[in-house]
Amino acid sequence: MINTNYFKNKKITVVGLARSGIACANLLFSLGAKVKATDNNDSEITRRNAVKLCSDYIAVEFGKHSSDFIEGSDLVVVSPGVSNDSFSIQFAQKNNIPIVSEIEIASILCPAPIIAVTGSNGKTTVTTLISRVINASGMKAYACGNIGNPFCGEIQKLLAKDYVVLEVSSFQLERIKSFKPKIAVILNFNRNHLDRHKDMEEYLTAKKRIFLNQDKNDFLVLNGLDPALKNISSESKSKVIFFNQLPGLNPNQAAVFTVASILGIKDDIVSKTFQDFKGLEHRMEFVAEIKEVSFINDSKATTADSAAWALENINRPVFLIAGGKDKGVDYAKILESRQKIKEVILIGEAKNKIRQALGETLSFREVDSLSSAVRLAFSKAKAGDCVLLSPMCASFDMFKDYEERGRIFKEVVEALKKENGT
């Protein structure tokens, strides 16, 4: 049972009207808070999202963040995509208004133990698998957070006997205060999000906040093969358990086994869950084969490490579609599979940066749209080749999110199927 009076009558401004902002604003309103919502964008998507609010009672501001709108707030809640140099954050800091993330709001109200998963890549897969393992054991788990299902949207369903399996990003962890997972998992630490964090040290500091409030009764699960994570283990007050790659398992699977062991779930349940798992949409998702050319949607691969993993697991020559909004990643990681790459077809803002990072070792083409990239790749591919969308970048320069990017990829492939009579 949640504490329905915790936010009653408090003046709260929610910054950002994507999924988490909408869910948070509606939750707070339902609990009696005096809610406002503001978004710097004035787009069709933003306006459509605002309709999902109890708009007759929640004041909404578009196209700007104004001091008049935020002034007098008891609390400001920021969505993950809101940068630290945003006017809303700067104004709140200047006026000593507390700033928290959406997961902080939800965690205050959450009656169930939280299993929080972070890392540079693999978070969504591991979050999904842990929740499925728990459900397969006869207990109830809710997968939410940065996975695309806001934590605030699940709060009113939860019971004390349930589990929340929460994917959390460094952006979300930046603005926690009391957030305290029963089990915290850090999968890996690679170069990422340096468009947001000034350097790797700041990025790691944000990740470490996942165990900031843990105590001796909690668990911290770390990748024992990652030097950066081994080095931070001494900073935790919780019980540290390292996972390593086990025979027949990748590190992500080993992490799931470790969490299951903490919860007392038998190995055979975990193994069966792995067997039944067909993968996630937009992560190494087989879309179609046209004239013996395969198409794989890996739109969720927003880092070079993820793209490198995808390339490693494809046993065909590849036309790689990459690019988007740069996150400060090390694109050179994919050069380990350079022999597989027939050509890199570049889209988005990061085209030049990717090209410079990869040097003269690969062949490149640049196009203006994802549709053009898919069609170009198919026109050059031969039987036995693979067209892989594994962007290594965020999607926000061209798309609403990586899901939209993946859907458009699949739509173009479907059109090609019809055009080629398959």
Partner residues linked to 301 by β-bridges: none
Strand arrangement, sheet containing 183-186: 141-145, 163-167, 114-118, 183-186, 219-223, 239-243
Distance (Å, rounded) from C-alpha 76 to C-alpha 100?
Answer: 6
Look at residue 195 in the predicted model and tell me its pLDDT: 62
Return all residues near 99 (Cβ < 8 A) that are at least 6 apart.
75, 76, 77, 78, 89, 92, 93, 175
The residue type found at 182 is: K
Backbone angles phi, psi at 379, to 5 degrees: -65, -25
State whether residue 175 is helix, strand or coil: coil
pLDDT of amino acid 140:
98
What per-residue confidence (pLDDT) applies to 362?
A: 92
According to DSSP H, which parts of 263-331 are helical? 267-276, 304-312
Do 270 and 131 form a contact (C-beta atoms < 8 A)? no
Task: Report the 10 Å Cβ neighbour count for 414.
Answer: 14
CA–CA dist 58, 71 (Å, integer)? 16
Task: State residue 147's pLDDT score.
Answer: 85
Which ranges of 137-217 does DSSP label H, i.e. alpha helix? 170-173, 200-208
Query: What structural domains and CATH numbers belong to the chain?
Result: 11-97 (3.40.50.720), 104-276 (3.40.1190.10), 285-419 (3.90.190.20)
Helix axes 402-419, 370-380, angle to 10 degrees: 40
DSSP 358-377: HTTSS-EEE-SSHHHHHHHH
Q: Residue 335 — left, alpha, or beta (φ > 0 → left; ψ -120 to 50 → alpha)?
A: alpha
For the chain of 422 residues, list the mean pLDDT of each consecutive stretch of 10: 79 91 92 92 77 75 88 92 85 94 95 95 92 98 92 94 95 93 92 64 89 97 89 93 79 93 97 91 93 96 90 94 92 92 96 92 94 97 96 92 95 96 78
Check residue 65 and give its pLDDT.
83
- Distance from C-alpha of 128 to C-alpha of 166, rounded to nearest angstrom: 9
Burial class (CB in 10 A: 0-12, 13-18, 19+), 166: buried
Using alpha carbons only, give the angle 328, 331, 336 rounded to the nearest 5 degrees: 150
Judged by DSSP in three states, 273 sits in helix
Q: What is the pLDDT of residue 194?
A: 55
